[in-house]
Every structure is written in C-alpha cells, then in structure tokens.
Structure 1
C-alpha cells in the first residue's frame, strides 16, 4: 500500500508540474507484457525451455502411467494375492509415489529456475531496446505497467517490438554465418 501512495504522489507531482513541462517533456508508454508475449526472443526462450525439459516431462509422464498401472493391479488383484505379494506390491507403489513426487518437485524447481533466468535475460533485452528508442527519439520519460490509459501517440510498444525483431534477425544472421 505504501508503494501505491508513493506512486500516486509521484504522479501527482508530475501532473502538478505538467503545465510547466508540457512544452518540453516528451513522454511515452510501452506495454511490456505484450512485448514479452510477442517478441521473437520470447518465442525462442519458450522453445528452448520446451526442448530442454520435454525429455524429463516425458519421463515423468511414463513414471505416472507405470504407477497408475501398479495401483490398478493392486486394486484389481490385491484380494487374490498372497499376503506377502500384496505387501510387496503396496511397498513398491508407495516407493514409486515418493520417487515420482520428488522427481516432480525437482522438475518444477528446475523449470522455474530456468524460466526465471530466461525471463530476466529477456527483460534486460526489452529494457535495453526501450532505452535505445527513448534516447534515439529524445523521450524524457517512458511508462510501462500500471498505466490506465495511453494513446497511440505515446505508445511505443510496436516500435520496441520492431527493434527487438531487428535485433533477433541480426543475431540469427550472425549465428548462421
């Protein structure tokens, strides 16, 4: 809540001095979530994560199917088994459940860690692109999230996306040589 009041105070002060600065200040807006969704770098990051984690995800799915088959066998044939066979199968099912749970947790933790790394890298690239456009075009202030309304005149989202696409293509050309 304190951050909200600080932001509101900052906007109030900015608006209070807007008449003085109106002729001089150049303000823009960037829809960062849209950029993070549409930028080719974001698509590449998602594809990299999918390729990196698809084998482990497949292994987990197979382990889940095997566990389910064991549970079904226990439910179906448990009454017909000897006490020793039933006990052995129950122990095996519990061990598989524990192993699967641990594997799932490790998978989720690793995936979240890598996703955060990719997201941080992407945010740096987006931030650099925004700053480059702001400096190139002489913007004094660029807003992103938290803006209620921004007219097309001050919305730089498409320009930032365009710059990111150019950088992506240039990087791909450089990597293919």
Structure 2
C-alpha cells in the first residue's frame, strides 16, 4: 500500500511540473538573427567598399596582367628560338627570363598582400558599422539576443532585411 501511494505522489508531482510553463517563456525573450554573409553582399556600405577596392587596385592589376602576358610572350619566343641560339645566348636569355619571372612573382605577391590588407581594413569598417546598426535595431525593437551564426535558424527570426535597410539609410 505504501508503494502505491508513493507512485501516485510521484506521478502527481511529475504532472504538476510538466503542466507549469517554463520560466523562460514567462520572460518573453526576443531573439533575432542576422545573416552576415548576405549583409556583406547586399548592404550599400559593403558594395561601396568593394567598388572602392576595385578602383584602388585595378590599375596595378592591369599592370600585372600586362607584365604576365609580356613574360609569357618572351618565354614562348625563347622556346621557339632556343634551338637556333648559341649556348651563351641561350643561357643569357634563360637568366633574363628567370629574373623577369622572379620580379613578376614578387610584384604579384606584394599586390596580393596589399589587396588582402586593404580588404581586411574595409571589411572591419563595414562590420563595425553593421554591429552598431544591429545594436540600434536590437535596442529599438527590444531584442534580448541577436545571433550572427547558427546551424539552423527559423526564418521568422531573421532580421537581416531590417539591418540592411538601416545600413543603407545610415550615413
């Protein structure tokens, strides 16, 4: 008889616990999500930064492309003419080509390093600005948490459009 009363008491406590609403639901927590990749593709400040970088580096990139084409042309010419050249002429032209290639590779590396550095600077500025806008949206609309990365997010929690709109309108 004791065992049966104990089972009934445990069952009653369990059902009472399950029927009670969770503490978090009572607080009405608001969660939002911002798709950072999409924001960096679609927001005006991100597009402006990309355009700025393209303008800043387009001349150097064209110069490198031209130098690369010239090097390839010189190499092709050397390959065609090598059988008719004397040993000393062949060695001299080979050394010149190797030196030109070394210089081209150095310039290409410097270009890539400069481009990556400037991309990082511009990206950081856009992200700083975006984070300020996210904070403003969160405070204005009373969000408790805004996530920027998630394995899965329900589309109704996505506030990326609001953030992009606010970024585009902010000066």
**What is the TM-score with the length of structure 1 in the denominator?**
0.80
Contact 2:35/2:149 (<8 A) preserved: yes
Given candidates 153, 158, 170, the residue that maps to 2:161 is: 158
Secondary structure at the aligned position of 1:22 is classed as helix
Q: Trace 1:109-120 onto structure 2 (pairs within 5 A).
A: 109-120=113-124
Q: Displaced runs of 4+ in structure 1, greater than 3 A?
A: none
The one-character-per-residue Cα deviations of 1:70-118 (angstroms, maximum 9, x if unpaired) are: 1111110011122222222111100011001111111111111000111
Given candidates 71, 74, 78, the residue that maps to 1:74 is: 78
**What is the TM-score with the length of structure 2 in the denominator?**
0.83
Q: Trace 1:77-96 onto structure 2 (pairs within 5 A).
A: 77-96=81-100
Given candidates 96, 99, 102, the residue that maps to 2:103 is: 99
Distance 1:138 1:165 in 2: 21
Number of matched pairs: 150
Secondary structure at the aligned position of 1:142 is classed as strand
Contiguous gaps of at least 5 residues in structure 2? 1-20
Distance 2:22 2:131 in 1: 29
The structure having more radius of gyration, on CA atoms, is 2
Q: CA RMSD in A?
A: 1.4
Q: Cα gap change, 1:164/1:28 in structure 2, threshold over 3 Å: closer, same or farther? A: same
